[in-house]
Amino acid sequence: MEIHFSTILTSLLHGLILGMVLVIVAGGLTIIFGMLDVLNFAHGSLYMLGGYLGFTLATVTGSFWLALILAPIIVGFIGFLIEFFTLRPLYGRPPLHHLLLTFGISLIIQNAIKFIWGNDIYTVSIPSFLSGPTRFLGISYPTYHLFVLFFSLGIAILIWLLISKTRYGVAVRAGTEDIETLEANGIDSRKLFTAVFVIGTALAAIAGAAIAPMRTVYPQMGIDIIIDAFIVVVIGGLGSIRGAVLGALLLGQAVQFGAVFLTGFADAAIYIVMAAILLLKPSGLVAETE
């Protein structure tokens, strides 16, 4: 197989887009873990819900943009319900219980989606000005893919601003270390927990809705992404946002590279990397600067 510059560039872009989407999904996951000490197994199914909702909303309202805005709002609300009714009672229990709880919830959501939408695969249509290819640097690349890239980037930057510039953001970065300090600064930790969870799940949903036209919405979506998100979060370091970004971008490239040049065993290699990190540097690749 000949390796042209165009192949490399296309491959890089693919990987970058995969990575960026993972940044948003894994980012939400790691923030939720860092703040609430909850590993949200349901994250993948909420991403999937975002995708399916996006599809239906786009079809019903005829507006892709409306769907992109409404889907995360709806899912965020569902996230609120989950946090309020099922997670709150469990704070204080061993973290394993949260993992199992969210696992159960992921089963419910996954099957509820199957119940409502059936086993079909749906294609989401995109606004016409985003369809078709864009030519640059000698390659012809789908415009919508580029949109997803910049959209994800935009969201990531928005979140970064939120985290680093606002009072609440600082609280989130401080994590669950010091609830007392948070409260002393006038932040209601319970409300903050809820807000973090809602935002995290909304992020997953928006990623699902945005990527739907690219990948279609299909019943395995949730399961596929959750494992990838877990891998990213472990490699980057649980609770580390920068780690999630790094891990996601790396994984995006690795998956893409593997899909093009190796096969099958690329997936296996990723698990080996994850295992190595867990054994050698469980805090993840990014050293936390406390």
Partner 1 sequence: MVHGKNHLLIVMTGLALFLLGAPALFSDFYVDLVTKMMIFGIALLGYDIIAGYTGLVSLGHAMFLGLGGYCAAFTMKAFSTNLFPLLGVALVCALIVGFIVGYFSIQTKGIFFVFLTLAFAQFFYLAAFNLTTITGGDNGITLPKVTIGIPNLWETVVPRPQGFYYLALGFLVLAYLLCRRVISSPFGKLLVAIRENEERVGFLGFNARWLKIKAFMISAFLGVTAGVLFATYQDFVSPGMLHWTLSGDFIMMSILGGMGTLVGPVLGGAILLYVGDLLSSLTENWMIFIGSFFVLTILFAPQGILGLLYKMKGK
Per CB under 8 A, which of residues 158..197 are in contact with partner 1? none
List 138, 186, 263, 290, residue binding partner 1 (CB under 8 A): 263
Beta strand extents in 98-231 (DSSP E only): 133-136, 139-142
The answer to the question of residue 272 lying near partner 1 (CB under 8 A) is yes
The answer to the question of residue 220 lying near partner 1 (CB under 8 A) is no
The answer to the question of residue 95 lying near partner 1 (CB under 8 A) is yes
CA dihedral for 276, 280, 282, 288, sign (positive or negative): negative
List 115, 129, 184, 186, residue binding partner 1 (CB under 8 A): 115
List 7, 61, 97, 181, residue binding partner 1 (CB under 8 A): 97
Q: What is the 3-state secondary structure (H, E, C) of 62-130?
A: CCHHHHHHHHHHHHHHHHHHHHHHHHHHHECECHHHHHHHHHHHHHHHHHHHHHHHCCCCECCCCCHHH
CA 134 from chain centre, in angstroms, equals 26
**DSSP assignment of 114-136:** HHHHTT--BPPP--GGG-SEEEE
The answer to the question of residue 92 lying near partner 1 (CB under 8 A) is no
Is 203 in contact with 25 (CB distance < 8 Å)? yes
CA–CA gap between residue 167 and residue 77 (Å, rounded):
23
CA–CA gap between residue 99 and residue 94 (Å, rounded):
9
List 3, 107, 162, 287, residue binding partner 1 (CB under 8 A): 107
Give the range of 51-59, 151-159, 179-187, 259-267 binding partner 1 by CB under 8 A: 259-267
The answer to the question of residue 81 lying near partner 1 (CB under 8 A) is no
List 81, 161, 275, 287, residue binding partner 1 (CB under 8 A): 275
Which CB sits closer to partner 1, 93 or 167? 93
The phi and psi torsions of 202 (rounded to 5 degrees) equal -60, -40
The answer to the question of residue 265 lying near partner 1 (CB under 8 A) is yes
The answer to the question of residue 261 lying near partner 1 (CB under 8 A) is no
Which CB sits closer to partner 1, 186 or 264? 264
List 36, 101, 196, 221, residue binding partner 1 (CB under 8 A): 101
125, amino acid identity: S
Binding residues for partner 1, rule CB under 8 A, total 39
The answer to the question of residue 267 lying near partner 1 (CB under 8 A) is yes
Longest dimension (CA), the chain: 62
Q: Which residues bind partner 1 (CB under 8 A)?
A: 39, 86, 89-90, 93, 95-97, 99-101, 103-108, 110-112, 114-115, 223, 227, 230, 234, 238, 263-265, 267-268, 271-272, 274-275, 278-279, 282
